[in-house]
Structure 1
């Protein structure tokens, strides 16, 4: 009997819980037929400021070209824009003159960072002209997706066919994208077949939608009041300057602790890891090897060559030697100095040896490929670097360097790398460089299906306790509400 058949007949009482009375098979595909529809992208008319400038405003009345409206993009042609996501500083949705939702540049950057899969992160950043711009790449069109509820889920597409008596308007406040742009608005329309179109036009609709609320808080420690309403599924707060080490947060509801006080890493790393598609890149401390000049690697050169990296002046140093004064002091070019941070590790790699002019002294245990390292403990002036220890050979703590000898014109004998353990400077999907903190009441806050909320309308006193200074910033709350559409008009079921 073959092994496959042996597995098949090895069937016991426990297997009844797995395969007894089967309801599906993996070997016969099942599908469901859908209603007939089509889609088309159509440009909208903008009224107001047509060029993006600070405080410039424009209004777009969604035309009735199709039955439903789904995705909305802001588009602008430019080869010089370098921060496209800043084009939409603020955007507001109105139905029948009532504001339904309002989003901000910062929130769009935060949401994209949390919800964009890694496979699409660089593409989104490219679409917003934040990489490969200035004529150096092929991306010359800014394309910014809006993140209203109907833009993210086709099942929530806004039924224009049922809003015969109410106009849908999108109001923009333009920002500075690094260039003067002429923005356009493009909408994806959905066309329904006759029967479904008739049903959408005649019956009333109730949509469970998502809204955004915002509070600004100061940098001082203490309790920050949260004036939010409606069932909230998650809180997200953004620091302006980044919190200091040891900052802690705690949520209080009507004087009761919602959870034990936690360090900021719980909200920056653990919560996004548990509840979102991605952990924000700028929250992650990473080890990154990068060069100290415009090239990937900086060469060490002799004093007489105007070295990219030279030591402090030391008595008795010849033109063929680079002496590290006391073994822990270096002097570097200003351009290199700016690339080095306290806490970084400098790594020296021997790339060549010369019998008459060895690359390193002392001569013990030296060989091509040997690696020596030292930490950076302090910086001063514009060139002076203090090392925490002498350059020490990897794997041999007893072998340390006092003198580096690369010979006259010795370019290429030794290479210098930097290994840093600091946070990324900007996000995966934008140029946002602020810490993102998350606390989710929902199991899966990115999904439309509710999986947990806290009804802030029933909370008299909600506070976020901050221990330590985190730079201040803004707190966002994502809440549910109900949009009712009947008799050709639409409005919210619950107000603030």
Structure 2
């Protein structure tokens, strides 16, 4: 008897709960017939400037033309120019450029604002609601590829980098390349930025143009200025030290030289009996927002090779998916009233927060989720718009760049290993930042680049050292480029923790709605329970819904019936401002800004050829 028949015969009363009165079979496929339709993506031009402004936002507008019966997915399409950048002035687009570019997008029906999208909430939503594979695809759409923003930070060159300074044109003629490259550093491309209005979430939510005969649908977009979209490499600090052009033995008995700064790099006090001593230097760099007063920072230098005050042609359009219905369904949509459950996002911002801070939120409507992000208020200096960590740069640690143009002779240590030396601070930086106590270098003999697994330890202090106390290495060496990170220890660990907050709690009308929880609860536990992915550090959420990503409501809190909603957050304590000019006249070097994004339900009513919201604030 076959074993399968034995299993079938093993049937008892327990089977009644799973096999009794069966409703489906797995061995006969069933399908449903659907109404006839077709889809077409059509580009809709936007009125307004064709170029981004250098130091102010621009607005683009359009009325959605009635090219078909419904609209579904919508994208903002923009062109990026080719970028020509050299090692001396490295260029990098801001991370997640497409989302950063958008300040906001408003949708109006009959003159009433129905929904507002913001670039930073789109970035948050993209991280929470999509798998890692889908996020990779979206990054391709929005210009979130690493080579747009990171290759100018790490050594290795741009996608179009070539070390030769000549190239051949189409006729075979050798041409001097003024950019020292045979191709753009970053190639031109088109961005397709998803505009996730409620009707793009599901085909069943498509917005029926055919039911809005008397009301227009309008889109208004505000884009950031060019200055907010990229960074340039700028000198941070320069340090000076003494070196020798001749080989010598560190223990040969040469007279020591005391290094003291007096006025400028070439004017030092002290005994200088050794004739071949000269002054060396190394310089640290940092990525900064372009300076409006520096023509060399202007985008035109990287697009066309020289300053001309212009930016580039955006060619902005909306790419909209239109839906065409057959005649029968068209009549039904046109003659029937429709009520759509939609989601709105209300943004509430609180700036300049430190320590234990209570935020009073004025909320309305059934709210299914509260999402909030925190970031350092000095991120604006580096165009770090998507950086929600407690670090200066959106890389998981602080990055500074190092480069020196000096060659020098040196000798090995007695144990044939690379030695250490200590730089002096200059007159503009009398003390060296204590955080940066260790460098990691890429280096090699005769200026060759070397595998990063061969690091050179480099200690910093402000001590004045003698020449014999400075140890050199063999033959001619050149430091190419390096990044250095803050040394984190028990004394400054809290200051450089990834998160900007320690935790928080929620109160409704003075009573605890959510008891105090540590930062990992808001950051990871909530995302794990209610979302597809866990986002970057600094993005937090609290859900009143079982399944907040789904259209079907599964829980909400009616905030219109609550008088007092408080969200208390304990922020980190930043380092004190030690009266340094660059930080301005304030107590801390930086503080924290928080944006709350409150996701609520509302009803869009379409009747008699017109549309409007059922509930207002």
What is the CA RMSD across the aligned residues, in angstroms?
2.2
Distance in 1, matches of 2:115 and 2:498, equals 29
* 1:24-173 aligned within 5 A: 24-53=24-53, 54-78=56-80, 80=82, 83-131=97-145, 140-173=189-222
1:453-468 equivalence runs, <5 A? 453-468=556-571
Match of 2:370 among 219, 230, 235: 235
**Does the Cα contact within 8 Å between 1:239 and 1:435 map onto a contact in 2?**
yes
Q: Are residue 21 (structure 1) and residue 21 (structure 2) matched?
A: yes
1:94/1:243 Cα in 2 relative to 1: closer, same or farther (>3 Å)? farther
- The structure 1 residue matched to 2:509, chosen from 254, 260, 267, is 254
The CA deviation at 1:177 is 7.0
What is the CA-CA distance between 1:50 and the residue it aligns to?
A: 2.5
CA distance in 2, matches of 1:227, 1:257: 17
What is the SS of the residue equivalent to 1:495? Answer: coil
Alignment check: 8 A CA contact 1:50 1:58 kept:
no
CA–CA distance in structure 2, aligned partners of residues 225 and 97 of structure 1:
31
Superposition deviation, residue 450 in structure 1: 0.1
CA distance in 2, matches of 1:21, 1:137: 65
- Please, which runs of 5 or more residues in structure 1 have no aligned partner? 281-432
Partners of 1:245 and 1:64 in 2: how far apart? 47
Instruction: Please say which of residues 139-148 and 229-238 is displaced more in the overlay.
Output: 139-148
Note closer, same or farther for the CA distance 1:7–1:455 as it changes in structure 2 (3 Å cut): same
Cα deviation 1:267-294 (Å, max 9, x = unaligned): 11111111111111xxxxxxxxxxxxxx
- In the TM superposition, structure 1's runs of 4+ consecutive aligned residues that sit over 6 Å from their partners are 136-139, 177-180
User: Does the CA contact (< 8 Å) of 1:132 and 1:139 recur in 2?
Assistant: no
Q: Render the CA deviation track for 1:178-197: whole Å, top value 9, x for unaligned.
A: 87633221111001100100
User: Could you tell me whether the CA contact under 8 Å between 2:79 and 2:188 is conserved in 1?
Assistant: no
Cα distance in 1 between the residues matched to 2:194 and 2:146:
19
1:254 CA displacement: 1.0
Q: Quick one: which of 328, 331, 339 aligns to 1:195?
A: 328
Specify the SS of the correspondent of 2:515: coil
Q: Which residue of 1 aligns with 2:234?
A: none
- Deviation at residue 222 of structure 1 after TM alignment: 2.5
Describe the SS at the equivalent of 2:215: coil
Secondary structure at the aligned position of 1:20 is classed as coil
1:333-384 Cα distance to aligned partner (Å, 9 max, x none): xxxxxxxxxxxxxxxxxxxxxxxxxxxxxxxxxxxxxxxxxxxxxxxxxxxx
Q: What SS is found at the alignment partner of 1:47? A: coil
Q: Distance in 2 between matches of 1:152 and 1:51?
A: 31
Give the deviation of 1:109 after TM superposition.
0.3
2:509/2:565 contact within 8 Å kept: yes
The partner residue of 2:601 within 480, 491, 495 is 480
Q: In structure 2, what is the Cα distance between the partners aligned to 1:137 and 1:19?
A: 62
Q: Report if aligned partners of 2:69, 2:330 keep a CA contact under 8 Å in 1.
A: yes
Deviation for aligned residue 1:235: 0.4
Give the superposition deviation at 1:78: 2.5
2:616 maps to 1:495: yes
When residues 152 and 245 of structure 1 are mapped into structure 2, their CA distance, relative to the original with a 3 A threshold, is: closer
Distance in structure 1 (CA, Å) of the matches to 2:112 and 2:355? 36
Do the aligned residues in 2 keep the contact of 1:80 with 1:133 (CA within 8 Å)? no
Of 246-255 and 81-90, deviating more is 81-90
What is the count of residue pairs matched by the alignment?
344
Higher relative contact order (CA 8 A, sep 6+): 1
- Does the 8 A contact of 2:82 with 2:188 survive in 1? no
TM-score under structure 1 length normalisation: 0.66
> Secondary structure of the equivalent of 1:258?
strand
Q: 1:136 to 1:157 in 2, by over 3 A?
A: farther
**C-alpha distance in 2, partners of 1:80/1:224?**
44
**1:328-367 correspondence to structure 2 within 5 Å:** none
Residue 397 of structure 2 corresponds to: none
Instruction: Report the Cα distance in structure 2 between the residues aligned to 1:251 and 1:36, rounded to whole angstroms.
Output: 50
Q: Distance in 1 between matches of 2:118 and 2:318?
A: 17
Q: Distance in 1 between matches of 2:17 and 2:550?
A: 30
SS in 2 for 1:31: coil
Partner residue of 1:267 out of 507, 516, 522: 522
How far, CA to CA, are the matches of 1:434 and 1:128 in structure 2? 21
Deviation for aligned residue 1:79:
5.2
C-alpha change, 1:177 and 1:64, in structure 2 (3 Å) is farther
Alignment of 1:177-326 (within 5 A): 181-218=314-351, 219-241=354-376, 244=499, 247-280=502-535
In 2, are the aligned partners of 1:51 and 1:183 still within 8 Å (CA)?
no
Give the aligned partner of residue 335 of structure 1: none
Separation in 2, partners of 1:83, 1:244? 23
Contact 1:133/1:140 (8 A) holds in 2? no
Q: Which piece of structure 1 moves more, 195-204 or 117-126? A: 117-126
SS at match of 2:603: strand
